[in-house]
Chain A
Amino acid sequence: MSDYAIETEGLTKVFRSRWSKRELLAVDHLSLRVPRGSTYGLLGANGAGKTTFVKMLLSCTHPTAGRAKVFGRDTQEAEARRPIGYLPENHRFPTYMTGWGMLDFYGALSGMGTADRRKRIGELLDLVGLETRAHHLRLGKYSKGMLQRVGLAQALIHSPQLLVLDEPSDGVDPVGRKHIRDVLQALEQKGVTVFLNSHLLAEVELFCREVAIIQRGKLALTGTVEELTSGSGYRVEGLNVPERLAAELSARARTAAAVNGSLNLLFATREEANQAVDLLRANQCEIESLARTRSTLEDVFIKTVEAAA
């Protein structure tokens, strides 16, 4: 049994125009390993190749070169898709179905028996927080948020070991987002691998332990969120700082800003921050706050994308 939920080797996709000879390299020799049981975020600007990559994992799109495996099985095999639950970004569920009927249909396609489906559907609709009156309502009457919730239930219907989610909280209100995050965290604790493709970097940062950033179809950066966002600097906020000292400290700091009588300073190292505190105290200035700051995932993402460009 493979240690990786997802393994790709040199995965490449070139889209060719049917009539002209134009080619578009959507994914370029992308090799990625997603450990079993991890929560993994895939980030990239629009058109970076994220969705094409995900579609190749699910065999919706055939790779031009390379290969993809899920739990050690080639994704070209239909059986390789059995442990995968998938929620696409721009899903179009049949509007003539009810929430219940849709889950029943996709459950049957996932190989579940009738009794198992009946038992599981009720549980799932409650889990994703869909009101009872909506269970037998046609999907055409659902709001965007309700569709996302029932879509998540659809991805979970057969208790998958790998959940591939493309913008799962798109159109969902903040309370709903928190609810979806809680559901995903509960799944993570059960050992389910969650592969998240989202533009909401704060959401990825909150939920995922590892991320990969792709740019123009290539892997630009990969690592744990902890590693990527750590060690940004030390923030010192002082009150009643004399002008002369403020000028001196601002010259030493990476950034400095005076706001409502306080001076906010950001230093690159602990030593610099300690020296600044010593100077402030020596001049009878008060220390309002002292904290270690971290980069946000957005900072890392923008730096990576700009560097790759």
Chain B
Amino acid sequence: MNATLALIQDTFREAFARRIFWGFFGCCTALLLFLIFILRVDVVQGALATISIFGRSLPSVGVTNLVEQTQSVIAMVLYFAGMALAVFASAGLVSAMFEPGRIELLLSKPVSRVHLLLGRYAGNVLVVSANILYLVVGCWVIFGIKTGVWGAGFLLSSLCTIFVFCVLLAVIVLVGVLWDSGAVAIMVTFAIMILTPILAQRFTIERLLSSEWSRQLVRILYYVLPKTSDIAVIVRRMILNQPIESWTPVWSTAVFGAVVLAIGAWRFQKRSF
């Protein structure tokens, strides 16, 4: 436990030193301040009276609907743009661990390699989670205070975002173990992030493809790779209190993440430094 805490603490210290944590924290705080000072919502006896941004009144809609729509926009920005930033920042944190002269010191300690890797992984997840939760809980509280709408969907959506980050971080870890390169890890992870929304349109793509093997390839890629686009739909539905049609994208993505992380741990175990 001592070693695990030390590894997590070390990841935080490195994130602080690289200004990664503070960069995220600054962006999140800026958004929260925007919501506190710029967005003005007047609710009278449970009904929306006026809503204004930069002092300009907007057309009136239902309070709950307005809050949920705004939260879903924030969640989507966080899900895609925030995730890209998190991947960009985390790649360096993972590959730094494998630097010659540093890895030997870590491996010389009486801690198993899997423990070292998972400790770093957990630290990285917690660095990003702390910022996601700070933003989401902050937004949730501000909206709750300003409008009296305290729906749990937005809070739950942050867990989905963290979950997808965990899966993408597993990819970063695997690439880091194989090639020691933060840049390659970013490229591979971004490729997955770009490819999966395209694969989510597989029915349309299949109609456009002429050969059966290419259609089969699209299907395989869709089922094997994480379904970030489908999970984004789930996140949006959660916030809008709409029923979730299928949890398959979540569990199949979880399987992908677990397998990739297991391969990363296995390769790390076998590797000579």
Report which A residues bind B (CB closer than 8 A). Answer: 13, 15, 55, 58-62, 78-82, 84, 86, 88, 90-97, 101, 104-106, 108-114, 154
Whether B105 pairs with A91 at a CB distance below 8 angstroms is yes
Alpha-carbon distance A260/B273, docked complex (angstroms): 56
B residues less than 8 Å from A114 (CB atoms): 2
When distances are taken between beta carbons in the complex, the residues of chain B under 8 Å from A62 are 270, 272
List 6 contacting pairs A-B, 8 Å CB cutoff, sorted by A. Answer: A55-B273, A81-B109, A91-B101, A94-B13, A105-B9, A111-B2
- Residues of A within 8 Å of B104, CB to CB, are 55, 58, 60, 86, 88, 91
Q: How far is the CA of A266 from the CA of B169 in the complex (A)?
A: 70
CB B70 to nearest CB in A, in angstroms, measures: 38
A85 vs chain B, min Cβ distance (A): 8
> Contact: B108 with A84, CB < 8 Å?
yes
Q: Using CB atoms, name the residue of chain B closest to A92.
A: B101
Q: Do A111 and B273 touch (CB < 8 A)?
A: no
Instruction: Give, as a whole number of angstroms, the nearest-CB distance from A243 to chain B.
Output: 61
Known: A109-B3, A111-B3. A79 touches B110 (CB 8 A): yes
B112 within 8 A of A: yes
Structural contact, A110 and B109, CB atoms closer than 8 A: yes
Which residues of the partner chain A approach B16 to less than 8 Å between Cβ atoms? 96
A81 near B3 with CB under 8 A, answer no
- B2: which A residues are within 8 A, CB to CB? 108, 111-114
Interface SS of B by simple majority:
helix
Q: Which residues of B contact A79 (CB under 8 A)?
A: 110
3 tightest Cβ-Cβ pairs between the two chains A and B = A96-B17, A92-B101, A108-B6
The distance in angstroms between the C-alpha atoms of A84 and B272, with both chains bound, is 19
Kindly provide the distance from the CB of A53 to the nearest chain B CB, expressed in whole angstroms.
Answer: 13
Chain A residue contacts of B73, Cβ below 8 A: none
B106: nearest chain-A partner, CB-CB: A109
Does B55 sit within 8 A of A, measured CB to CB?
no
Q: Report B's interface with A, CB cutoff 8 A.
A: 2-3, 5-7, 9-10, 13-14, 16-18, 99-112, 270, 272-273
Residue from B5, B101, B108 within 8 A of A81 (CB atoms): B108
What is the distance, in angstroms, from B176's C-beta to the closest C-beta of chain A?
16
CA–CA, A62 and B106, complex, Å: 15
Contact A58 B13 (CB under 8 A): no
Q: Which one of A61, A80, A109 lies within 8 Å of B6 (CB-CB)? A: A109
Q: Contact: B101 with A109, CB < 8 Å?
A: no
Find out whether the CB atom of A81 lies under 8 angstroms from the CB atom of B102: no
Q: Are B105 and A110 within 8 A (Cβ)? A: no
Contact indicator B110/A58 (Cβ below 8 Å): no
Which residue of chain A has its CB nearest to the CB of B270?
A: A62
- Complex Cα spacing A78 to B102, Å: 18
Query: Is A106 a contact partner of B105 (Cβ separation < 8 A)?
Result: yes
The answer to whether A92 and B99 touch across the interface, beta carbons within 8 angstroms, is yes
- With beta carbons under 8 angstroms apart, the residue of B10, B17, B108 that contacts A58 is B108
User: Which one of B99, B109, B273 has the highest number of Cβ atoms from chain A below 10 Å of its Cβ?
Assistant: B109
**Contact between B107 and A105 (Cβ–Cβ < 8 Å)?**
no
Query: Within the assembled complex, what's the spacing in Å between the Cα atoms of A62 and B102?
Result: 17
Chain B residue numbers with a CB within 8 Å of A95 are: 17
Indicate if the CB atoms of A90 and B13 lie closer than 8 Å. no
Q: Once the chains bind, are A86 and B99 in contact (CB under 8 Å)?
A: no
Q: Could you tell me if B111 and A109 are in contact, using CB atoms closer than 8 angstroms?
A: yes
Contact A94 B270 (CB under 8 A): no
Alpha-carbon distance between A111 and B6 when the two chains are bound, in angstroms: 10
Given contacts A95-B17, A108-B5, 14 further A-B contacts (CB under 8 A): A55-B272, A58-B108, A59-B107, A60-B273, A61-B272, A62-B270, A62-B272, A88-B101, A90-B100, A91-B105, A94-B13, A105-B6, A105-B10, A154-B105
Whether B10 contacts A94 by the Cβ 8 Å rule is: yes
Which residues of chain A are within 8 angstroms of B109 by Cβ–Cβ distance?
81, 106, 109-110
Residue with the greatest number of chain A CB neighbours at <10 A, chosen from B7, B10, B103: B10
- CB atoms of B14 and A86 under 8 A apart: no
Measured CB to CB, the nearest residue on chain A to B15 is A96
- State the Cβ distance, A48 to closest chain B Cβ, in Å: 18
Contact indicator B6/A97 (Cβ below 8 Å) = no
State whether A78 and B14 are in contact (beta carbons under 8 Å apart), knowing that A55-B104, A109-B106 are contacts in the complex: no
A154–B7 Cα distance when bound, in Å, is 16
Chain B minimum-CB-distance residue to A97: B13
Question: CA separation between A62 and B107, bound complex, in Å?
Answer: 12
Chain B contacts for A13, CB-based, 8 A: 272
- In the complex, A96→B18 CA distance in Å? 9
User: How many angstroms between the C-alpha atoms of A43 and B58 in the bound complex?
Assistant: 80
Query: Do B110 and A86 touch (CB < 8 A)?
Result: no
A101 proximity list for chain B (CB < 8 A): 13
CB distance from B134 to the nearest CB of A (A): 22
Q: How far in angstroms is the closest Cβ of chain B from A171? A: 14
Write the chain B residue with the least CB distance to A96.
B17
